[in-house]
Structure 1
Amino acid sequence: MIKHPKIVHRTPSQEVYDTAKQLGLSDFQARLVANRTDQTEQLDEIVFPKLKHIQHPSALKNIEEAAQIIVKAIQSDGAIVLATDYDTDGVTSAWVATTALCDYFNVAKSRIVHVIGDRKTGYGITDDVVKRILSIEQPIDLVISADQGSSDEDRIAVLKSHGIDVCVTDHHQIPVSGVPQSAICTVNPQQSGCEYDKTIAGCFVIFLVMTQVRQTLIKQGLLEKDSPSLKYLALNVALGTVADSVSLKSPNNRAIVYAGLQLINLFQSPAWQALRQLNDNQGMPFDAEFLGFQVATRINAASRVSDVTTAFKFLTAGNVNDAMSYLQQLDEDNQNRRAQQEIMLQQAHQQAQQRYTDTTYSMTLKLNGNAGIQGIIASRIGEQYGVPTVAMTDLEDGTLAGSARGIVPDIDLREAFQWMSEQKNDLFLSMGGHKGAAGCMIPLEFYDEFSHLFEQAIQLQLGDSAPVPIIETDGELDDWLLTPNLIDEINALEPFGREWPKPMFSGEFTIVQIREVGQQKTHLSCKLKTPSGTVFQAIYFNAKQSENDPTPFVTGEVVVCAYQPALNNFAGRTSLQLRISAMTSIE
């Protein structure tokens, strides 16, 4: 049994609405803004994002010390090792650091050694990463971590014992034991005493560090005062920021993503030129949604099913032909990932249907298949049932690797995992992540105990009422507002993402026409009529779990829908289309 989503309307802040109107927004736009924040402070910086609004790097604890350390390494002649995570945030962090060091600070490319993590061996500076670093033949001046390292004291201590300095740059939560004592320096906005925005991604942290390195080089007379700023690096900091699902209510994140999208849409980079050839987004500019669903999915596919270095080579390709070659491999990896995902989703659906009840607070699933795909499974199942979900994969070595998604806004997964570890101190072999997304590894025999403790941990955070799927909307729209011009008003409030969601509306409709479409016949193409008589074309993706399921709605049925208005370009004509997120019959 699956609970129908509860469609609720966001409650606007009158104070924010009034302030937004003073900033020159329309009534419609002011309402959307007032639905997304109750803070008038910095509202102009949120609504009109600009790079000049970014918090100064000096607010990032230890950044000046890190810059001094990196400048010293730049002046030397040994290897600078970049140890980065395997997801899009990590790959873009590697691109940011490499581009800054080589293209802006004149470090020879032969001195840069990349050690990008392997999803199969786990997140962070793992034993495998240490082994790879220790096998580097040339002398090592410095290891710089990006998007990882804060929880890796034991492995960093091994590197230190071999005389290798590690400068940690990261954005993940700091463990209870504190920052890694064996690191020569740690730059992470999460550490105590740091006044920087806690929501920024790992690629943003390394971007700020490299910005500070530039200032230090200039101060020391090692770089001309008029040397180019690092603004261009916003190009892929935007991609990593969107991909990591950090808050887009933050003025810092909004500014870097907005600036990055402007650079992306100039299509001067071979990688982005290749992407436009593969998918031109129906001639529309690339937006944050495109980065998340069309670009990050392909980059993440490399580490899920193939070789993560393909993604890095794609971003750093020197010409369009090379970029297209790597992109075609990423696209093939992504198609492979989708095929594997469908098989694992079938397993997950079967388990979820058997376990879910009205009083279920969480879901823990044990799957066979590719561990690189379990995060997607956790998101899909979690969103469908409206509960925090952990998808675990049997690694066939006596361990389970798990990816967790919080789904419910009030849930803190790191806090949940910490509480679980306190109840059973040998439960986790490793764990890490954010409030809303986390990963772990546990012994296979602890699976049932893990499931039980996870349910308890979530119940402790949520209280007496089990969660239900909730879709928040911006209310109903009059027919006359539903025109292509509406999209322009909405787009003016880009970028959209977590905590600054793309506008969603609700309404009552009568189904005039309905048919199954798509290769698997799991999508529904509909014509929907409003109570006032206007008919709109609509599409409901993944309305059915499989092609064998019956069509859930019939012509003439009256339904309540949560939807997003979108443009549909077909045969040279542009019309408004409703993208359905949820549809429920009125009984």
Structure 2
Amino acid sequence: MEKRWHIQETDDASILDLADRAGISSVLAQILYNRGIRTNEEIRRYLYDDMDDLDDPFLMKGMKKAVERICRAIEEQEKIVIYGDYDVDGITSTALVYSVLRDLGGCPSFYIPERQSEGYGLNADALQVLQDDGTHVLITVDCGISSHDLIEQFNQSMDIIVTDHHMPPQLIPDAYAVINPKQEGCPYPFKDLAGAGVAFKLCQALWQKRNGKTLPGYVELCALGTIADLVPLRGENRILVKEGLKRMKKGLNTGVQALLTSSGLTPDTITAGRIAFTAAPRLNAAGRISHATRGVEVLLESDAGKATSLADELSELNKERQDIEHTIAEQAVNQIEEKGQSQDGVLVAYGNDWHSGVIGIAASRLVEKFYRPALVISIHDGIGKGSCRSIPGFNMYEALKSADDLLIQYGGHTMAAGFSIVPDKIESFRQRLLAYAADHMTEESYIPEVVIDKELQADDISLQLIQELSALEPYGMGNSRPVFALRDAVISECRPIGRNKHHLRLSIETERQRLGAVGWSMASCCANVLEGDTVDLAFTLEPNEYNGIVSPQMVLQDIHRQPQTIQLDRNVMVDIYMALKHCIPEGGLPVWQVQQRLIDAVHSRYEAHTACAAMSVLREIGVLDVRELPDGPIYYFPALTGKMHLEASATYGKYFRSEGGR
């Protein structure tokens, strides 16, 4: 579907003043202005801050007391256990604190709960085992802030130090020390650290206390957790990720290097975005399919061969995770479509014994396909465990709250949440959510929005601009890659690319240059965007190297084509159907070859868009079908079992021309 474009407002005088003061182009000045970075000091900090600009970790409430206790435990060789979470933030935080304590002379161990049987955070059985095992100091990472009762139960037998970044509840745990920049009374200036960021501040303070020096290295572990946890890449998060990426490119951590290599990343291709989509899911797969301990082990491994073996094991787990998730997502999509619910305000799908470790990802797939808030529920032993993903404008936590009388428990945030429910209440729950959506959403809410930083002219697009924009990296949550718009671009080439022909390649010609564009998973646009069309493009920019030549490339976010005059009636449909019969052999033919053959065959009678619209009608009524093959989709004529009705096609209804005209 076409997306709504929201073009950022401009203040030309302010933009030019900002560009002049900072010695940058008006394009970069516009982007910084859009992000609220408008003074010389804000620009300097945003573009040039480094590790020396991080705030003193001892500003964090509870830090001094925690550091003194941990240092005493190291000196006296007391038993220290790090208790982490099973997601990437928890895994990296665990590996980070473990590494630093080990290198400071301590003898730490770690514990991460099993996702399916123990769930998130501290649990009584695990704490009892750790207590019985003689633990003196327990350090939580990326969890613990909501475990008041459990910590009260065990804080007499061991000293519990909580490090967390989640929003604290009203009742803070009575732990030995609590380190969380979001807790009331904490003067630490930057509040948006990930769990790995809070753990890094603890490590900084420990190293400073023990050695009187700045913490050397380790920041790539913090960067990996920060990228994966989708915290805003602003302020200290930006510094930590930027420095961590530098170390990753140098391969300074054996375990991290093995993980990146197994993910197909090289020093030239390591970015925050690629890590989020390749390396982070491999660590996540450990906690979802096997046990998160495997993720910690690869990050701690110093032997290159063993690290490679462990990283490859995570890659296999990730493939298994992808297969399971694909199956569940496909079943969920089919369930929603078969019930005719794809246009509902909220989507709810459920199944027996769906793997609860991947239902959150399956919910994300539903959001991607239908652009609706989505909830996926796995029913096991008479209990439904659900995971939710949302879209802007729909507060998932508040939606669950509106139905809390139907739920066993729930929790989460605006965009993602989880819950449990008795299966026979699922339909009542769905109806309650639909009512919530009706009260809080509009028809426009269900159209995806693209925020455009600036409209460009074709001649503005250059490698020089791309190089200047690289100063904005690393990109991520809260610091997205800038999106531009190009108006009235004339398409000179439009074709599907990739092994399965799922992606799109466009070219446009200008007086000065030929510009290329790629649209990932956008090959379906070839049915509506044809050579010679005039379109508006929304895109990001990146360099593209091919045969040793580097050129600017647009990465498409959306295409708006100008309205076409298309008129269909039964005679036109019969004529185009007969032409198609001559274009498609019995065994079928690749989709885009069929399209081009048909356009060429009927060009003297029908405009190209009319031919493509007619093919859409034939697909919608079942006369024409698509079969997915390894080399891409093909069109073929299926065996027909009944009479086909043109009126059943939405496309035909849109373009139908009656004999007397419309």
Q: After TM superposition, is the score higher than 0.5? A: yes
CA spacing shift, 1:442–1:71, aligned 2, 3 Å: farther
From 135, 139, 148, give the equivalent of 1:140. Answer: 135
Distance in 2, Cα, partners of 1:382 & 1:519: 25
Aligned-residue offset at 1:514: 3.2
The alpha-carbon distance between structure 1 residues 577 and 348, as it changes in their structure 2 partners (threshold 3 A), is: farther
**CA distance, structure 1, for counterparts of residue 205 and residue 554 of structure 2:** 46
Match of 1:117 in 2: 113
5 Å-filtered alignment, 1:509-548, equals 509-524=489-504, 526-529=505-508, 534-543=513-522
Q: Is the contact between residue 282 and residue 569 of structure 1 (CA under 8 Å) also seen in structure 2?
A: no
C-alpha contact (below 8 Å) 1:385/1:468 kept by paired residues = no
Please state whether the residue corresponding to 1:346 is helix, strand or coil.
Answer: helix
Which amino acid in the other structure matches residue 320 of structure 1? A
User: 262-271 or 186-195: which moved more?
Assistant: 186-195
Q: CA deviation at 1:447?
A: 2.6
Contact 1:92/1:240, CA 8 A, preserved across alignment? yes
- Structure 1 distance, partners of 2:472, 2:290, is 37
Distance in 2 between residues matched to 1:403 and 1:276, nearest whole Å: 29
Counterpart for residue 251 of structure 1 = 235
Shift of 1:532: 5.5
Q: What residue is the counterpart of 1:4 in the other structure?
A: 2
- CA drift at 1:115: 1.2
- Contact 1:384-1:469 within 8 A present in 2 as well: no
What secondary structure, in the 3-state scheme, does the structure 2 residue paired with 1:135 have? helix
Write out per-residue CA displacement over residues 272-316 of structure 1, whole angstroms, 9 at most, x where no aligned residue: 433564466566252211221221122112222233222211111
TM-fit CA distance, 1:264: 1.6
- The one of 445, 459, 462 aligned to 1:483: 462
Distance across 1 between alignment mates of 2:428 and 2:182? 30
Alpha-carbon distance change, 407 to 37 in structure 1, aligned in 2, over 3 angstroms: farther
The alignment partner of 2:133 has SS state of coil
For the residues of structure 2 that align with 1:324 and 1:185, how far apart are their CA atoms? 38
Pairs within 5 Å for 1:291-302: 291-302=275-286
Higher RCO, 1 vs 2 (CA within 8 Å, ≥6 residues apart) = 1
Match runs of 1:458-469 below 5 Å: 466-469=445-448
| Compared CA separation, residues 401 and 25, structure 1 to 2 (3 A) | farther
Equivalent position of 1:106 in the other structure: 105
Q: Name which of 214, 219, 225 aligns with 1:240.
A: 225
- Conserved 8 A contact 1:62-1:187: yes
CA distance 1:519–1:402, change in 2 (3 Å): farther
Sort the Cα spacing of 1:536 and 1:492 in 2 relative to 1 into closer, same or farther, 3 A.
same
**2: CA distance, partners of 1:305 / 1:395:** 18
- How far, CA to CA, are the matches of 1:67 and 1:149 in structure 2? 18
Q: Comparing 472-481 with 143-152, which one deviates more in the overlay?
A: 472-481
The answer as to whether partners of 2:390 and 2:416 remain within 8 angstroms in 1 is yes
Aligned residue for 1:501, secondary structure, equals coil
> What is residue 271 of structure 1 aligned with on the other side?
255
- CA shift at 1:241, angstroms? 0.7
- Number of the residue aligned with 2:191: 198
Deviation at 1:494, TM superposition (A): 0.8
The answer as to 2:155 corresponding to 1:165 is no
1:13–1:156 CA distance, 2 compared to 1 (3 A): farther
SS at match of 2:377: strand
Cα deviation digits, residues 8-49 of structure 1 (max 9, x gap): 222346657644642332222111211222664734212223
Distance (whole Å) between structure 2 residues aligned to residue 481 and residue 586 of structure 1? 23
> What's the CA shift for 1:414?
4.3
Match of 1:427 among 407, 426, 431: 407
Residue 413 of structure 1, CA deviation: 4.2
Q: Match for 2:545: what amino acid?
A: N
Larger radius of gyration: 2
Classify 1:458/1:512 alpha carbon distance in 2 versus 1 (closer, same or farther; 3 Å).
same
Deviation at 1:232, TM superposition (A): 1.1
Q: Which residue of 1 aligns with 2:168?
A: 174
**Residue 579 (1) aligns with residue 555 (2):** yes
C-alpha distance 147-467 of structure 1, shift in aligned 2 (>3 A): same
Q: Which residue of 2 aligns with 1:93?
A: 93
The whole-number CA distance in structure 2 between the counterparts of 1:58 and 1:424 is 41
Q: Does 1:355 align with 2:351?
A: no
- Measure how far apart 1:107 and its partner are: 0.4
Letter in 1 for 2:27: F
Amino acid at match of 2:69: I
Corresponding residue of 1:371: 356
Give the partner amino acid of 2:556: I
Q: Which moved more, 1:232-241 or 1:442-451?
A: 442-451
Contact 1:345/1:377 (<8 A) preserved:
yes
Query: Quick one: distance in 1 between partners of 2:515 and 2:202?
Result: 50
SS state of the match for residue 509, structure 1?
Answer: strand
Distance in 1 between residues matched to 2:421 and 2:184, nearest whole Å:
29
Aligned partners of 2:410 and 2:417 also within 8 Å: no
Taking only the aligned residue pairs, the percentage that are identical comes to 26
CA contact (8 A) 1:361 1:466 kept: no
Task: Provide closer, same or farther for how the CA distance between residues 224 and 557 of structure 1 changes in structure 2, counting only shifts above 3 A.
Answer: closer
User: Bigger shift: 456-465 or 273-282?
Assistant: 456-465
Report the AA paired with residue 7 of structure 2. H
The match for 1:214 is: 207
Report the equivalent of 2:610. Answer: none
5+ residue gaps, structure 2, are: 564-662
Residue identity in the other structure for 1:147: D
Instruction: Give, in whole Å, the separation in 2 of the partners of 1:447 and 1:310.
Output: 35
Q: Is the 8 A contact 1:60 1:188 kept in 2?
A: yes
Cα–Cα, structure 1 residues 459 and 160, in superposed 2: closer, same or farther, change >3 Å?
farther
Deviation at 1:167, TM superposition (A): 1.8
Please say if residues 147 and 203 of structure 1, whose CA atoms lie closer than 8 Å, have aligned partners that are also in contact.
Answer: yes
Q: Given residue 151 of structure 1, which amino acid in structure 2 is its aligned partner?
A: S
* AA in 1 matched with 2:425: F
Q: Output the CA distance in 1 between the equivalents of 2:299 and 2:220.
A: 11
CA contact (8 A) 1:379 1:407 kept: no
SS in 2 for 1:497: coil
TM value normalised by structure 2: 0.76
State yes or no: 1:153 paired with 2:148. Answer: yes
Task: Quickly say closer, same or farther: Cα 1:151–1:7, change in 2 above 3 A.
Answer: same
| Structure 1 residues 417-462: Cα deviation after superposition (integer angstroms, max 9, x where no partner) | 4x33xx5356243424x44433333333333344344455566666
2 CA distance for matches of 1:487 and 1:404?
Answer: 37
Taking the aligned partners of 1:458 and 1:155, their CA distance within structure 2 comes to 37
> Is the 2:77–2:106 Cα contact (8 Å) retained in structure 1?
no
2:467 aligned partner, one-letter code:
D
Shift of 1:497: 0.9
Matched residue SS, 1:327: helix
Aligned residue identity for 2:448: P
Question: Partner residue of 1:57?
Answer: 57
Partners of 2:523 and 2:288 in 1: CA distance? 26
Kindly indicate whether residue 416 of structure 2 is the aligned counterpart of residue 437 of structure 1: yes
CA distance in 1, matches of 2:17, 2:118: 49
1:568 aligns to what SS in structure 2?
strand
* TM-score, normalised by the number of residues in structure 1: 0.85
What is the one-letter code of the residue matched to 1:327?
Answer: A
CA contact (8 A) 2:27 2:454 kept: no
Alignment of 1:69-84 (within 5 A): 69-84=69-84
Q: For residues 211 and 67 of structure 1, what CA distance do their matches in structure 2 show?
A: 10
Query: Aligned partners of 2:80, 2:5: CA distance in 1, in Å?
Result: 52
Helix, strand or coil at the partner of 1:67 = helix
- Sort the Cα spacing of 1:124 and 1:180 in 2 relative to 1 into closer, same or farther, 3 A: farther
